[in-house]
Amino acid sequence: MLRSLRWRATISIALFLIAIAIAIRSVNYEVTREILLRDIDTQLWTRLDAFKTRQQFAPETLLGPELAFTELALPDLRAASDLKPSVAMRLLIPSAVSGRPFPWFAGAWREDGSLLAALRLPEGIARGEPWRDSMETIRTTPDGTARLAACRGNDGTVLLVGTPLAPLAQALREVLWFYVWTVALAIPPMALAMWWILSRMMLPLSRISRTAATIAAGDFAARIDLAAADSELVGMATTLNLMLDRLEKIRISQARFNADVAHEILNPIHGILLQADLAQQRPRTTNELARTVEHCRALALRIQKLSEALLALSKAESAADGPLARLDLEPIVEEAATQVEELAQARQVTIEVDSHSAQVVGNADLLHQVFVNLLANSIEYSPVGGRVEIVMAKAGGRVVVRVTDHGEGIPADRAEQVFERFFREDSSRVTATGGHGLGLAICRSIMRGHGGDVIWHPTPGGGATFEVTFAAENVAADRADLNGP
């Protein structure tokens, strides 16, 4: 149950509302207590005033042991008023509207402390002289059992009117009980209402969940309906749809990649099987067998090159998580140019290197592979007797290396396709060069893993220029610091 967001929200909101209700009820309880006490004080003070007036104008009525208070004060206020208690009042304080008269007592003491007269005076209050220091006041007894009002009368007498506080305590208990049971009764419907409201609020999330289940079942084209989403969820739904679009593209790309890999591997395998079948059909001379073995070896080398390229691509795509270090790019570029020198000589292509010291952050082996691939690609597509230039520069706080050839170039509408896996501008070159269409994809993947990129530009006069850009100095420095020295 606690793993349910709906349950946790319902319980949390219910507890919050209960806490607020308790706080409000506590304030109401104190206010009710104060109102009831003030009502008691008003009645006591009125009776004390009538008591003092009677002593002043009819002192002889106080000489009896029991006061005749039939006409001492006006009738009880609750009995005299035509304002009848409401249903709410009857529920809140039943004892306060029971019709019972206001319970009170009175007493008069001479100056020497002897009792002059009394009316229902509790025995504990009749003893002693505690009122001499509390004249003209209304106070509660130290034991909290009575509320007393006292004043000076004629000839040094002390007049006292009081009421027991037991009815007040009963009324407050009734108030407290009313608060408790009303809150207890309100909790279940309040919780059900919150559950229903939260359920309605979570319907969009349920729709998102159903969409996800549909996609998991194989319907990869399903998307979250933005028109039915609440404004608070539109941003999340849009982001999820974009993510799903991206994943769909990756899925399609991966499926196409797998098919391309299978095709690239099966072609030389079929060639090897064909040569083996032909060799078994009739006896072959030594020269014929030698040619068959050589052909099979060439096809096996092609499979090996493809496997190595796939491994290189896998390493390139994980370069973002690999260790990077500060290094000088110049020796890496020069070493790459040296490595492809033999290939350039075979095609009678000249390599011109314009390099200088430049500090970058990266993986030396992967960067070496980038420049080897770009140089080999430029040499492959350069005419016999052509020229390939590799130039290092700095632009906008970034290190830039441009590899330029002067061959046939690339049509502008295919500029981005050349970076796709297994793409070849001229498929007729596959057999001649053994190309696998992964070189540029590997280069871009490596550079993006380094926070940079590889970008194509047309060479003025014909040809292609591949611009290798590195991360800005501050970004590269931060990444080098994260990877350690």
Letter string b/e over residues 227-245, b meaning 16 or more CB atoms within 10 A of that residue's CB: eebeeebeeebeebeeebe
pLDDT, mean of residues 2-31 = 84
pLDDT digits (tens, 9 = 90+) for 143-195: 888 899 988 888 888 888 899 998 888 888 888 888 888 888 888 888 888 88
Q: Given a cut of 80, is residue 127 above it in pLDDT?
A: no
Domains (ranges, CATH) in the chain? 5-190 (no CATH), 211-317 (1.10.287), 321-482 (3.30.565.10)
Between CA 89 and CA 85 the distance in angstroms is: 6
**Residues, the chain:** 485
Instruction: Tell me: pLDDT of 433 over 50.
Output: no
Q: Name, of 246-250, 309-313, 374-378, the range with top average pLDDT.
A: 374-378
What confidence category does residue 388 fall into, taking pLDDT thresholds of 50, 70 and 90?
A: very high
Percent of the chain predicted with pLDDT > 70: 80
- Of the pLDDT bands very low, low, confident and very high (cuts 50, 70, 90), residue 210 is confident
Average pLDDT taken over every residue of the chain: 79
Please list, in sequence order, all residues whose beta carbon lies within 8 angstroms of the beta carbon of residue 112, skipping any fewer than 6 positions away: none
The winner for highest mean pLDDT among 128-137, 320-329, 351-360 is 351-360
Least-confidence region, from 26-30, 391-395, 421-425 = 421-425
Angstrom distance (rounded) from CA 44 to CA 52: 12
Does 468 score more than 80 pLDDT? yes
d(CA 313, CA 421): 9
Output the six-digit token pair for 252. 């399609």
Confidence tier at 94 by pLDDT (50, 70, 90): low
Nearest to 473 by CA among 391, 400, 392: 400
Q: What angle do CA 408, 412, 413 make, to 5 degrees?
A: 120
Average of pLDDT values for 117-121?
82
So what's the pLDDT on residue 432?
42
Cross-strand partners of 151: 159
Asked if pLDDT for residue 436 goes beyond 80, the answer is no
For residues 461-478, average pLDDT: 77
Q: How confident is the model at residue 430 (pLDDT cuts 50, 70, 90)?
A: very low
CA distance 485 to 478: 11
Q: Residue 69 has which token pair?
A: 């208070």
So what's the pLDDT on residue 9?
81
CA distances from 407 to 378, 403, 437, 461 (A): 8, 13, 18, 9
402 confidence band (pLDDT: 50, 70, 90) = very high
Give the pLDDT band (50/70/90) at residue 14. confident
Among residues 51, 272, 84, 251, which one has the least CA distance to residue 154?
51
- Which of 314, 307, 308, 353 has its CA nearest to residue 331? 353
pLDDT-derived band at 21 (thresholds 50, 70, 90) equals: confident
Task: Check residue 465 and give its pLDDT.
Answer: 92
Predicted local confidence at residue 11, as pLDDT: 84
Amino acid at 415: A
What percentage of the chain exceeds 90 in pLDDT?
10
Q: Distance (Å, rounded) from C-alpha 312 to C-alpha 297?
A: 22
58-77: per-residue pLDDT in tens? 776 665 555 555 445 555 66
User: Can you tell me the mean pLDDT for 304-323?
Assistant: 68
d(CA 480, CA 463): 36
- pLDDT exceeds 70 at position 476: no
pTM for the predicted model, two decimal places = 0.49
Residues 439-456 have pLDDT tens digits of 788 888 888 888 889 998
Residue 335: φ, ψ to 5°: -65, -40
CA 32 to chain centre: 45
pLDDT at 99 over 60: no
Residue 389: per-residue pLDDT: 93
- d(CA 360, CA 397) in angstroms, rounded, equals 11
The pLDDT tens digits of the residues spanning 343-354 come to 899 889 999 999
The answer, yes or no, to whether residue 420 has pLDDT greater than 90, is no
Amino acid type, 50: A
Looking at residues 290-310, what average pLDDT do you find? 80
**How far is CA 61 from its chain centroid?**
82
* Lookup result for tokens 């909101």: 13
Of residues 85 and 268, which shows the higher confidence score? Answer: 268
Q: Which residues, in sequence order, are bridge partners of residue 163? A: 147
Q: What are phi and psi of 2, to 5 degrees?
A: -70, -15
Taking the mean position of all CA atoms in its chain, how far away is CA 455? 38
